[in-house]
Structure 1
């Protein structure tokens, strides 16, 4: 099912971990409107970066979220969030640095540059956190910091 010009439901629910564990990662029908809003936000990000973006993790069923070690309050389980990369644009740090000043314009509720376990990605969500200090963050193995802190 095509959710937007460049993003499909299959792309936003694909998971190697779910496949490996035999988990069903099909979202409930009531989450479809949220996934459409997520795809529309991803379109705006794609247009801003002017390159394709890769979704490395989108919707996660509660079972899949537990299997990958996600927090119980994860926006991924509600159809609000995606982890992305844009290799043709640059590193995750490059992408997050570009998007940070544009979160309101692009309709990004939360932007997190993540660098954990030697991997880096950008988490974007349509859902804004209660505390505005948590809107733009960098999270590494050492913890969370407000704002975007370039990762090496």
Structure 2
């Protein structure tokens, strides 16, 4: 199912972990509606960067979210977030730095530059956190949370 010109429902629900574990990863009707809004936000991000972006993690059902160690309050559970990379633009750090000043214009509620070992990605959510300090953050597994997009 095509959500927007450049993003499909399959991109948001694809998961190697779900496939390996034999898990269903079908969004609820409410999550599907949120995924439409998330895909629209990603279209704006794609246009802003001027290059394609790849969704590395989108919607996660509760069992899948738990199996990947996701937070119980994760926006992925509601279809309100996607983890992305844009190799033709640059590293995830460079992508996050380029997007952070444009949250309002792009409809990004929260941006997180995340790093775990050698893997790194940009988490983009349509949900605006209650605390404004949590709108732009860096998370490095094992090192905690830092305000802003920080080089790690």
> 2:24 maps to which residue?
24
> 2:148 maps to which residue?
147
Where do 1:88-127 residues align within 5 Å?
A: 88-127=88-127
TM-score in terms of structure 2 length:
0.98
Q: Distance in 1 between matches of 2:19 and 2:113?
A: 26
Structure 1 gap ranges (5+): none
Structure 1 residue 29 displacement after superposition: 1.6
Structure 1 residue 33 displacement after superposition: 1.3
Q: For 1:3, what is the secondary structure of its paired residue?
A: strand
Structure 2 gap ranges (5+): none
Q: Distance in 1 between matches of 2:88 and 2:30?
A: 34
CA RMSD of aligned residues (A): 0.7
Quick check: 1:3 aligned with 2:3? yes
Runs of 4+ displaced beyond 2 Å:
none
- The number of aligned residues is 151
Q: Distance in 1 between matches of 2:151 and 2:25?
A: 33
Where do 1:55-134 residues align within 5 Å?
A: 55-134=55-134
Structure 1 residue 24 displacement after superposition: 0.2
CA deviation vs aligned residue, 1:36-83 (integer Å, no higher than 9, x gap): 000000000000000000000000000000000000000000000000
> 1:52 maps to which residue?
52
